[in-house]
Amino acid sequence: MKLGIDFGTSFSLPAVTVLDTSVVLLPGGKYGIPSVFYYDEWEGVLVGEAAENAGQGEEAANLKREIKLELNSTFTADGRVFTARQIVGYILNHVKENALSAARAKLINEELEGVVISVPAAFGHNEKEFIREAAETPVEEGGPGLKVLGFIKEPVAAALAYFKTSLADKTRILVYDLGGGTCDAAIVEADSSLKEKYTVIDSDMRRVGGKDWDACLETYILESLEQQSGISLKENPGYREKIKRAAVSAKHAFSEKVGEKYRDRVRARVEINGKSYQVPITSEEFGKMTFSLLWDTIEMIMALLKKNDANSVSQIICVGGSSNMPQVIEGIKKIFPQMELRVFEPEKSIAIGASIYAGYCNGKDTFLSDMAAFSYGSDCCRNYDVDPNDKIVINLIQRGDRLPVTRQHRFITTRDGQTRMRFDIYESDKEVQQYDFVPGKQPVMQIVLELPPGLPKGTAAVLYLTLTTDGIIEAVADDGNGHSIKVQKRLNY
């Protein structure tokens, strides 16, 4: 059995595809597993719903949400420090346990071979490597001990799930995934004759999601409550948590229909010091306070369509929990009246798509063809004689290049008698020929070409960079005189 895991900012979900049938592996038809962590000395580590339940009142300070957006952070709870990697590991372990018990309940008793984890469209090698390390942390060290077969961009996973159900429909779609922490979009094409060839035309991401809609409501509710009660609530984690929960349930209430129409007013209720307070909010106010968030995501779709021949796409597929908000669908409809709009399995499609992809992650199939999500280039001196520390990066592979791709560039030695040329290869989202070197950034790989002694300054060597469909980057440096070196590395594609 190969699992697909949608590791979300707010919710995570496992799925499996067996004999062309996909099922979400959650007991009791739940929405998803909250990607939430909690620790105190008495309870120990709690994840998911148990964490949410424990993290109330004063204990809210021990609750950690949205760790996916803070992969370099640490979190201190009840005097103990946890790294983000540990927290991601705990969450993935909980997802795995849930998946295995739901699979057993459905009489799927196969052994777990590995997982594919979906990630935002703009996650780079380092972020994926971080998630891989968290997922592969051995069971003996308290980790999930999973084998990561690969990664897939969230909207691309949703596209695979969508195509499985309606390939005859349209062959080129734009998927809009508005989740809890990020908004991702991808234009994906299916080869309808083969049915099992998919091409990612382009993709993009904004760091905007349901949590930002929550934050607008939280501020609104908090200000009203402070005014009504005369109590300062900002610095109190227990009240902040209460207000957050009231904001989320108000937001969800706006997505509910009363009869034929969506609710146009909602009352958030919060208890403070034993007294119950109410904050009335209209859907118009809610729409206004969050409009700039929605607009940011709509601008991203506009840019993607403009860049990739808008006429070739006639359908927008909306997924992600936040696509349940009527203002989102109405907003997109208004701006793109010519497009057919569908909300497709907003909560499940990404996990299902990841599980479909898991079935093809065998290093042989070119089931899914993508473009380079980043640019790759080597550092060098702008002018060594003027300033040896003034460095630039020359991009060989450009973001957006169709994979596989090979590019080359000629570099020269800077000093007489130089016996080695070192190329540090950097990943970036910069779509330019060259850019100023950013000190402190880690290269994705390094290649050192040894040269014979006595060569004059200006001796040339050619660097070749290749990036394959399944994310192998290969660097070859060759001086044309019989000295060459090759280095390969698997990037997380």
Among residues 65 and 242, whose Cβ is nearest to Mg ion? 65
Binding mask 134-173 for ligand ATP (x = CB under 6 A): --------------------x-------------------
Residue 324 makes contact with ligand ATP by CB under 6 A: yes
Which of the choices Mg ion, ligand ATP, none does residue 375 contact, using the CB cut-off of 5 to 8 A by kind?
Answer: none
Determine the Cα angle at 306 with ends 305 and 310, to 5°: 55
**Least distance (Å) between residue 322 CB and ligand ATP:** 4
Residue 321 makes contact with ligand ATP by CB under 6 A: yes
Q: How many CB atoms lie within 10 A of CB 164?
A: 18
CA 336 to chain centre: 25
Helix then strand then coil, % of the chain, to nearest 5? 30, 35, 35
- Which member of 144, 179, 377, 471 binds ligand ATP (CB under 6 A)? 179
The position carrying tokens 């003996």 is: 140
Which window, 22-30, 276-284, 322-330, 331-339, contacts ligand ATP (CB under 6 A)?
A: 322-330
Which of the choices Mg ion, ligand ATP, none does residue 4 contact, using the CB cut-off of 5 to 8 A by kind?
Answer: none
**Least distance (Å) between residue 115 CB and Mg ion:** 16
Which window, 158-166, 268-276, 316-324, 418-426, contacts ligand ATP (CB under 6 A)?
A: 316-324
Q: For residues 1-30, which are near ligand ATP according to CB under 6 A?
A: 6, 8-11
- Tokens of residue 190, six digits: 């299916």
**Least distance (Å) between residue 185 CB and ligand ATP:** 12
Residue 320 makes contact with ligand ATP by CB under 6 A: yes
**Nearest to residue 83, comparing CAs of 46, 134, 118?**
134
Sheet hosting strand 198-206, strand order edge to edge:
340-343, 315-319, 172-178, 183-190, 198-206, 368-369
Residue 48 makes contact with ligand ATP by CB under 6 A: no
Give the whole-angstrom CA distance, residue 484 versus residue 450.
8
CB-based closest residue to ligand ATP: 210
**Least distance (Å) between residue 10 CB and ligand ATP:** 3
The answer to whether the beta carbons of residues 391 and 380 sit under 8 Å apart is: yes
**Least distance (Å) between residue 414 CB and Mg ion:** 47
Give the whole-angstrom CA distance, residue 211 versus residue 9.
9
Residue 292: C-alpha distances to residues 12, 208, 295 (Å): 27, 10, 5
Which of the choices ligand ATP, Mg ion, none does residue 209 contact, using the CB cut-off of 5 to 8 A by kind?
Answer: ligand ATP
- Which member of 4, 14, 144, 210 binds ligand ATP (CB under 6 A)? 210
DSSP string, 103-131: HHHTT------EEEEEE-TT--HHHHHHH
Among residues 11 and 39, whose Cβ is nearest to Mg ion? 11
Residues in contact with ligand ATP, counted by CB under 6 A, come to a total of 25
**Least distance (Å) between residue 49 CB and Mg ion:** 18
**Nearest to residue 423, comparing CAs of 432, 434, 411?**
411
| Site residues, Mg ion (CB under 5 A) | 8, 179
Residue 349 makes contact with ligand ATP by CB under 6 A: no
- Which member of 2, 64, 65, 68 binds ligand ATP (CB under 6 A)? 68
Residue 389: C-alpha distances to residues 366, 383, 384, 445 (Å): 43, 9, 8, 20
By the 10 Å C-beta count (0-12 exposed, 13-18 middle, 19+ buried), 112 is classed as: middle
Length of the chain: 493
**Least distance (Å) between residue 154 CB and Mg ion:** 5
Among residues 48 and 209, whose Cβ is nearest to ligand ATP? 209
Residues near ligand ATP (CB under 6 A) are 6, 8-11, 32, 68, 154, 179-182, 209-211, 248, 251-252, 255, 320-322, 324-325, 347
